[in-house]
Amino acid sequence: MLLVDVLPEGTLLPRYDRSALRTRIVHFGFGAFHRAHQAVCTDRLAAEQQSDWGYCECQLNSGDLIKALRGQDCLYSVTEKTADELRTRVVGVVKEALFAREDGVERVITALCQPDVAIVSATITEKGYCYQPASGELNLTHPSIVHDLAHPEQPVSFPGIVLAAIRRRRALGLPPFSVMSCDNMPENGRVTRNVITQLAQQQEPALADYIRKHLTFPSTMVDRIVPAMTPEAFDELSRKLGCADPVGVECEPFFQWVIEDNFVNGRPAWEKAGAELVADVLPFEEMKLRMLNGSHSLLAYLGYLAGYEHISDCMDDPYYLKAARSLMLDEQAPTLSTKNVDLTAYADSLIARYRNRAIKHRTYQIATDGTQKLPQRWLDSIRWHLANGSDFTLLALGVAGWIRFVGGVDEQGKPIVINDPLRAELAQRVNDSQEGDERVAALLSLRAVFGEDLPDNSLFREKVGHYYALLLKLGAKETVRQVIG
């Protein structure tokens, strides 16, 4: 358990009056990224500006972190790591913590209906929104949405729970709140508005009209490399802290948070703690999703297939390093609408961050949930290149790498455990197809991911098929060397 009085000298502790905090934000998804990102920014604000904005943290599907957090007075540590330096702070802005399965959805809805709550935020990963990645619309066939349509007062999905709270707040005469996604999706505010409003339209059209008129859904762009904590990482952290912290997290020093300033009922002054408040987040989102997340995914699939466990390991291979930088500058940068940004300097800064060997960011972790990530990281860029007649070699190679990965067997013949919300359909398509062109066609015809256009585009199919054949023949390392050499 985290013991504040034994932490190393120099640890930043919450010296502010925690009792003065009010639960004004309910956050869904108490994962490593939120703990190291939004919560840290809000903690800085409390420490430096005496902000009274506190969190109620909610988990829908896993309770271990919530139980551990409660056991240490809702405190946890965040350690920023480089090869030469460690900096630890104890975050104290969490006021309460709920696990829906044990505490009950009713208690979560009650927490959302506290009068002080002005913002509902989320880091639930792309799959938590129950949407169609290719279109950004609500997936009405998603099992959780099917349940929530039948049982609107006992919802299980994030959109359903938030909608139930909106309905109740309206009935109680409470002010509306803003719903802020902090997940890696382009126009994540639009996606969040879509799924909640479209669910409301199915349940109660008048409520959908109320949401359109009175709620806001600010978009955000978030950036910080935060590896998933492993047992080995927790053991190392315990040695450094002098005590165990089962909620502790490690991350890189870099921090960026760009927020659309569109809040209906107030917000923290996050700009005083390092965030950027802007009128339009989309150019920042696209830059980060395509250059950072897009290159991360390229390294994840091709790196995992090559036996590289971490992103920093990929950086030791000169061809993988060159491939990542070339993808950013030659194939992703031309598709962006970002203005007044030195994209070459941005790419170089990303490569420097990827080289940080103190951050053990596993290629397998980044490779999970590919069906939810490909549309915004690669496929929109491919559409741009097809429309403009320009080259998308590395993007096509990335898609081929994904197909090779979800085939479920690595280059040494060992099984790959596929972690993806569409894993059953992926497995079915793999099992029903012969290795080679048939496998490529089977997976590219997944229209929930590739849309209605790409599966019918002969150039796209041919390029992906060509690089898939190279991966089968040469393996990932040699294919990257030949393509980039």
Q: What does the pLDDT look like over 391-438, one tens digit per residue?
A: 999 999 999 999 999 999 999 999 999 999 999 999 999 999 999 999
State the CB neighbour count (10 A cutoff) for residue 255: 18
Q: Kindly report the backbone phi and psi dihedral angles of residue 179, in degrees, each rounded to the nearest multiple of 5, phi listed first.
A: -115, 115
At 211, the pLDDT band (50, 70, 90 cuts) reads very high
State the CB neighbour count (10 A cutoff) for residue 389: 7
Q: Give residue 338's pLDDT.
A: 85
Q: Rounded mean pLDDT of 52-66?
A: 95
Q: Which of 397, 395, 392, 403 is nearest to 442 (CA)?
A: 403
At 296, the pLDDT band (50, 70, 90 cuts) reads very high
Judge contact between 78 and 36, C-beta under 8 A.
yes
Residue 466 has which token pair? Answer: 């060509």
Strands 22-28 and 53-59: parallel
pLDDT in tens, 312-328: 999 999 999 999 999 99
Q: Give residue 133's pLDDT.
A: 86
pLDDT in tens, 223-247: 999 999 999 999 999 999 999 999 9
What is the C-alpha to C-alpha distance for residues 236 and 446, in angstroms, rounded to an integer?
A: 42
Q: Give residue 85's pLDDT.
A: 81
Q: Rounded mean pLDDT of 68-96?
A: 94
Judge contact between 183 and 289, C-beta under 8 A.
no
Does 4 score more than 90 pLDDT?
no
Q: Give residue 223's pLDDT.
A: 96
**282-484 CATH, one of 1.10.3720.10, 2.60.40.10, 3.20.20.70, 1.10.1040.10:** 1.10.1040.10
Q: Average per-residue pLDDT in the chain?
A: 96
What is the C-alpha to C-alpha distance for residues 325 and 344, in angstroms, rounded to an integer?
A: 9
pLDDT in tens, 259-285: 999 999 999 999 999 999 999 999 999
Q: Give residue 2's pLDDT.
A: 87
At 83, the pLDDT band (50, 70, 90 cuts) reads confident
At 485, the pLDDT band (50, 70, 90 cuts) reads confident
Does 113 score more than 90 pLDDT?
yes
Write the DSSP assignment of 169-205 as a string of letters.
HHHHTPPP-EEEE-SSSTTHHHHHHHHHHHHHHHH-H
84-88, 363-367, 393-397, range with the lowest pLDDT = 84-88
Residue 239 has which token pair? Answer: 């040695």
Q: Which three-class secondary structure state does DSSP give residue 123?
A: coil
Domain residue spans in the chain? 4-278, 282-484
Question: What one-letter code names the amino acid at 207?
Answer: L
Q: Give residue 339's pLDDT.
A: 83
Q: Rounded mean pLDDT of 360-368?
A: 95
Q: Give residue 212's pLDDT.
A: 97
What is the C-alpha to C-alpha distance for residues 238 and 128, in angstroms, rounded to an integer?
A: 31
What is the C-alpha to C-alpha distance for residues 295 and 302, in angstroms, rounded to an integer?
A: 11
Which fold is adopted by the domain 4-278? Rossmann fold (3.40.50)
Does 84 score more than 90 pLDDT?
no
Q: Give residue 55's pLDDT.
A: 98
Q: Give residue 135's pLDDT.
A: 86
What is the C-alpha to C-alpha distance for residues 313 and 292, in angstroms, rounded to an integer?
A: 17
Q: Give residue 388's pLDDT.
A: 98
Residue 340 region by backbone torsions, left for phi larger than 0, else alpha for psi between -120 and 50, else beta: left
Q: Assess whether the region 4-278 and the region 282-484 belong to the same CATH fold.
A: no
Q: Which three-class secondary structure state does DSSP give residue 223?
A: strand
Judge contact between 48 and 102, C-beta under 8 A.
no
Identify the DSSP state of 309: -
pTM above 0.75, yes or no: yes
Q: Give residue 476's pLDDT.
A: 98
